[in-house]
């Protein structure tokens, strides 16, 4: 029975990640157009990684410069440092002598405005889905708690999601989906590293048996949180994610 449940969780991990990704990206894209004016008002490119790192920064958790290559594994380090430096020069981030990054008062104001924007947009986008959003939030809370035991370095930067009480529940859902994606991102990185590849080599790897083996290893590593869900709960999770506008 244990082996059957393990096999089932691996298969489910291979199915659910695309549904999680789709729902998260739909939420972010809904805010993209109204968010463009907000970003420009705070300096455009100076915003840098504040949107990606909104959870730790808004929660007041320290983010070290040296942690960022684990979050942005497929970017050149020089590009990462340039993005950080633009945010510092733009008055949105500050950096301590030991490399700890934190938002300035202006950076905190941007994050406050960003969460308010997400709240307005998602109240419109998912407002007619209150029961579904609530059920997804409850289920994702369980999965995130379970995922912590098998998470990697990108997760440790991003988790837990920031959940201010005054926002629409859709914001909680967006940020829980975002955080769960980093559990799989860490699993994927562990899989291609175990295969002896670099990030650039993984990006360039063509379809075929080698890539398929890495994807299967990713599913195995990403499966742990889903073991706690019953078959009915797994089906309901997929259905709820698919039904979100």
Q: What is the pLDDT of residues 29-45, one digit of tens each?
A: 999 999 999 999 999 99
- 188 contacts 151 by C-beta, under 8 angstroms: no
Residue 147 pLDDT exceeds 80: yes
Residue 4 pLDDT exceeds 80: no
Residue 5 pLDDT exceeds 70: no
Residue 104 pLDDT exceeds 70: yes
β-sheet bridge partners, residue 145:
none
Q: Which residue in the block uniquely carries the two structure tokens 């007619």?
A: 128
pLDDT single digits (tens) 46-58: 999 999 999 999 9
Percent of residues, the chain, with pLDDT higher than 90? 95
- 112 contacts 167 by C-beta, under 8 angstroms: no
For residue 92, give the 3-state DSSP assignment. Answer: coil
Q: Quick one: pLDDT band at residue 9, thresholds 50, 70, 90?
A: very high
Orientation of helix 231-243 relative to helix 2-30, angle to 10° = 10
Q: What pLDDT does residue 69 have? A: 97
Residue 169 pLDDT exceeds 70: yes
Q: What pLDDT does residue 3 have? A: 44
CB-facing half-sphere around the CA of 76: CA atoms within 13 A: 3
How far apart (Å, rounded) are the C-alpha atoms in residues 105 and 94?
10
Q: What pLDDT does residue 183 have? A: 98
For residue 161, give the 3-state DSSP assignment. Answer: coil
pLDDT single digits (tens) 57-72: 999 998 999 999 999 9
Q: Are strands 63-64 and 93-95 parallel, antiparallel or unpaired?
A: unpaired
- Looking at every residue in the chain, the average pLDDT score rounds to 95
Q: What pLDDT does residue 1 have? A: 38
Residue 7 pLDDT exceeds 90: no
- 151 contacts 143 by C-beta, under 8 angstroms: no
Which among 141, 115, 159, 147 has a CA at the least distance from the CA of 27? 115
pLDDT single digits (tens) 116-128: 999 999 999 998 9
Cα dihedral 184→186→188→194 (10° resolution): -150
Q: What pLDDT does residue 245 have? A: 87
Whether cis (ω within 30° of 0) applies to the bond prior to 235 is no
pLDDT single digits (tens) 193-243: 999 999 999 999 999 999 999 999 999 999 999 999 999 999 999 999 999
Cα dihedral 27→30→33→35 (10° resolution): -40
Residue 6 pLDDT exceeds 80: no
- Residues 142-156: what's their mean pLDDT? 97
Please give the backbone phi and psi of residue 95, each rounded to the nearest 5 degrees, phi first: -130, 130
Long-range contacts of 240-245 (CB under 8 A, 24+ apart): 240/132, 240/135, 240/136, 240/139, 241/16, 241/19, 241/20, 241/22, 241/23, 241/136, 242/19, 243/129, 243/132, 244/23, 244/26, 244/126, 244/129, 244/132, 244/133, 244/136, 245/26, 245/125, 245/126, 245/129
């Amino acid at each position: 029975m244990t082996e059957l449940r393990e096999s089932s969780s691996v298969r489910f991990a291979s199915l659910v990640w695309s549904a999680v990704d789709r729902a998260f990206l739909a939420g972010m894209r809904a805010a993209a157009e109204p968010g463009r004016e907000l970003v420009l008002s705070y300096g455009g490119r100076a915003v840098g990684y504040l949107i990606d790192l909104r959870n730790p920064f808004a929660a007041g958790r320290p983010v070290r410069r040296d942690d960022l290559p684990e979050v942005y594994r497929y970017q050149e380090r020089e590009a990462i440092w340039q993005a950080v430096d633009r945010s510092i020069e733009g008055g949105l981030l500050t950096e301590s002598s030991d490399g700890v990054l934190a938002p300035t008062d202006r950076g905190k104001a941007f994050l406050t405005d960003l969460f308010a924007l997400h709240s307005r947009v998602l109240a419109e986008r998912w407002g007619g889905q209150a029961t579904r959003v609530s059920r997804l939030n409850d289920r994702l809370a369980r999965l995130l708690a379970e995922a912590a035991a098998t998470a990697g370095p990108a997760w440790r930067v991003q988790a837990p999601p920031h959940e201010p009480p005054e926002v629409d529940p859709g914001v909680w859902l967006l940020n829980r989906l975002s955080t769960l994606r980093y559990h799989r991102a860490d699993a994927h990185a562990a899989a291609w590293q175990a295969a002896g590849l670099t990030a650039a080599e993984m990006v360039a790897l063509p379809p075929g048996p080698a890539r398929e083996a890495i994807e299967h290893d990713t599913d195995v590593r990403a499966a742990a949180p889903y073991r706690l869900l019953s078959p009915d709960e797994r089906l309901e999770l997929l259905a709820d994610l698919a039904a979100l506008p």
